[in-house]
Structure 1
Amino acid sequence: MTATKGAKRQAELLDAAERVLTTRGNANAALRDFAAEAGVRIGHLQHYFPTRADLIRAVLDRALRRSLERLSAVIGMDPDGDGNRTLTRADTERLLEVLLAEQDDPGCVRLFMEIWAIAASDEQIAAVLREFYGKYVGHVAELVACAQPQLPESRRTALAETVMSLIEGASVVRSDIGVGRSAEGHCEIVRTALALIHGA
């Protein structure tokens, strides 16, 4: 099998995993459930993703990569970081709008809710989730560094964690499960995040 076919097959398997997590709400899904959704034998799935943790890691890595690509497209920034760039408030506002739009996507919210539910009873998945959020914090901290290069790394990280908490919390509060989205609330989230990233 060529590398292209292998990559295509992996993408199909990840698509199937996302469907199981977002449409069935099955926090107890096992590899056999993901394999059945993809229409393959469990051994075929395990060729690419030996454990459920490996599969969830790949789903999260792909979600993060997609988000970074959307963000980089907005301001022309390298998705792998561009620490020497100056980030303007206008750049940051555009980035925040992209992030909040992701949080408004019911499929995206459901995917993360289901992975959180799995992580609550599976330490391997919890470790994968911590790894994912560690990467996410690192990317946001790089943006803070572009806006406030004088800050020490520990402060940039703390601000990144706070911005992430604000954005991630928005996904629940603004969802159909929460109170819903309001224009005033949206503006306040953006204003608060801008103040954190750029300094009041």
Structure 2
Amino acid sequence: MVDHEQRRRELAGAVWRVIVRDGVADVSIRAVAAESGWSSGALRHYFATRAELLAFACEEVIGQVTARVSAMRPTGSLRQAAGEVLLQTMPVDEERHTEASIAFAFLALGLGDPALARVQRLHFTTMYELCLRLIAQLVPGPVDTTPETLAHRLHAVVDGLTVHVLAGHLSSDEMVAQLNAYLDEL
């Protein structure tokens, strides 16, 4: 019996490989079919359009990161735990670099395609909600700034550092040091 969800995940993996190797502009039904060893017709059985295929691939990245974060059982201080959680979303190793590359490839795509804009909003909303939960734990007392504002700032720091690593302006180690410095300031 065919496991359709497993096949869809295999196709998402093929999309990820094409994005990492060739860039998101080169993702097509034909390119993903070739990467996965499937025919274009077989692939279209699962995804009728390029946008559907790309949206699913990005949703899989979001789900993969969310599952990894949910499975964590951090030890140490709240501050250390927050850093460990955030680093699960940032490009500190090859797997997370690939995930971040895929997620950020959707920024430009979401501007012109409503289906991809929905996935982009899901990515941003999921990350903001994570930052808001972390801020609630890290900054429990009254402060001059709302938790929502602090969460937006934390989200901006995480995304900014991620973009700098993806663009080659920071190393992963430098990114971790900057994240730690910001968390220490909180």
TM-score (norm 2): 0.75
Q: Is the 8 A contact 1:103 1:109 kept in 2?
A: no
- The one-letter code matched in structure 1 to 2:38 is V
Structure with the larger RCO, 1 or 2 (CA within 8 Å, 6+ apart): 1
Which of 171, 177, 181 is the aligned partner of 1:187? Answer: 177
| CA deviations over 1:21-69 (Å, ceiling 9, x no partner) | 1111141533333233223233432333333333223222221222223
Give the Cα–Cα distance (whole angstroms) in 2 for the partners of residues 120 and 103 of structure 1.
Answer: 29
Offset of 1:18 from its aligned partner? 0.8
Aligned: 1:15 with 2:10: no
Residues 54, 143 of structure 1: alpha-carbon distance in 2 compared, 3 angstrom cutoff: farther
Give the Cα–Cα distance (whole angstroms) in 2 for the partners of residues 137 and 54 of structure 1.
Answer: 24
- The one-letter code matched in structure 2 to 1:170 is L
Which of 115, 121, 140 is the aligned partner of 2:106? Answer: 115
Matches within 5 A, 1:5-84: 5-75=3-73
Residues 6, 26 of structure 1: alpha-carbon distance in 2 compared, 3 angstrom cutoff: same
Q: Is the 8 A contact 1:137 1:164 kept in 2?
A: yes
Aligned residues: 182
Give the Cα–Cα distance (whole angstroms) in 1 for the partners of residues 178 and 74 of structure 2.
Answer: 26
Which of 127, 147, 163 is the aligned partner of 1:136? Answer: 127
- The one-letter code matched in structure 1 to 2:37 is G
Which of 149, 159, 167 is the aligned partner of 1:158? Answer: 149
- The one-letter code matched in structure 2 to 1:135 is T
RMSD of equivalent CA atoms: 3.2
Give the Cα–Cα distance (whole angstroms) in 2 for the partners of residues 146 and 156 of structure 1.
Answer: 10
Q: Percent of aligned pairs with the same residue? A: 24
TM-score (norm 1): 0.71
